[in-house]
Amino acid sequence: MKKKTRVYRIPVGWEMYGWMEIEAISLKHAIQIAENVETPLPDGHYVDASFNLDEQIIEALYPKEAQR
């Protein structure tokens, strides 16, 4: 008999590294533009070994199964 499966939502995170080319009147201004939430993120590259699972959220979402 085949075991019944279900879909789990697993919270994960990772880091990316990229470069922004910003036209500005000064370095300080360029940094302000880069940090602005409306500035689009650049294409990036995965930072090696940065992938992780958020175990606290997993335990909160699936308390009965996480205790096993």
- Domain ranges in the chain? 24-66
Q: Which residues pair with 52 in a beta bridge?
A: 13
In terms of pTM, does the model score above 0.85? no
Place 68 in a pLDDT band, splitting at 50, 70 and 90: low
Instruction: Please tell me the predicted confidence (pLDDT) of residue 1.
Output: 83
Cβ neighbours for 41, distance < 8 A, ≥ 6 positions apart: 16, 18
Looking at the predicted structure, is the pLDDT value of residue 6 above 80? Answer: yes
pLDDT digits (tens, 9 = 90+) for 11-67: 999 999 999 999 999 999 999 999 999 999 999 999 999 999 999 999 999 999 987
pLDDT at 19: 98
